Amino acid sequence: MSQHLLEQTLLSDIRDRFAHEPGLPVLLGVEAGELIDLPELMAAALTACLPESRARAWLRGLTAELFRQEGELLDTALDDLLVTSARDDQPGGAPHVLLFANGYHALLSYRVSRALWLAGRGDLALAVKSQFTRALSVEIWPQARIGRGVWFDHGLGLVIGQTSVIEEGVSLWHGVTLGSNFVDMGEGRHPRLRRGAVVGAGAKILGPIEVGAGATVAAGAIVTKDVPPGHIVTGPRGMDRGAGRFAGFVTLAELKDRAE
């Protein structure tokens, strides 16, 4: 696997920020000298949201080891970071997102619990998920399937059910619920969000329905039936307003092409 473009500068950029602002390592619970590699950095940035304790230190070590052992996990996390940096449009870029963006931390916590779930360590995956649920105010089940280059803006209040499917390039604002409807309670009882879909703050998408590629669910909408690709849905009754004019965000592939 070729080196991710963020690997070239991310670690050194954050070390520079630590040197410029001595309070950062204190608040994040990590010394610059401890950041020996990118896996250690990713683990420290994620677990900084947890209270100082034996549990935090142990989980930081576990997370760093996962990132070292599973190159695909690290590469996916860096893709998420690249997309979040572009969509957040923060002046501090990727280093600021990694250190300070709650939405990115929520997604990163899912990547870690998902890796444990796929490794057959289900109880530990759920325990890790619970730690981050309390710290980040999110509920993302490790059984859910989430593609690369997804963006959680703010992240607070997100609920993503066990059988949810979120494809590459989807964007979710805070307070979004991907839940069941208590009627269709089979294996695939949660929504499927196709590539590039956008879901606004506080929207509720319930049941085994599909939100098509490039569709938009407006803030506060309640959606209980399929949304066609490219359409926009609004309001508490999930009214389909037809094809929207939003062209979508820059994709992960486009961001990588620009950097080459």
Question: What does the pLDDT read at residue 251?
Answer: 86
Divide the 260 residues of the chain into consecutive groups of 10 and give the mean pLDDT of each group: 76 91 88 87 95 93 95 94 87 90 97 98 97 97 97 95 97 97 84 97 97 96 96 94 81 79
Question: What does the pLDDT read at residue 90?
Answer: 66
Question: What does the pLDDT read at residue 186?
Answer: 77
Q: The whole model's pTM is what?
A: 0.93
- Give the count of beta carbons closer than 10 Å to the beta carbon of residue 28: 17
Query: How far apart (Å, rounded) are the C-alpha atoms in residues 157 and 162?
Result: 16
Question: What does the pLDDT read at residue 7?
Answer: 81
Closest CA to 40 of 14, 26, 60: 60
> Measured over all CA atoms, what is the biggest interatomic distance in the chain, rounded to whole angstroms?
56
Phi-psi region of 120 (alpha: psi -120 to 50; beta: other; left: phi over 0): left
Q: Name beta bridge partners: 204.
A: 177, 222
- For residue 203, the one-letter residue type is A
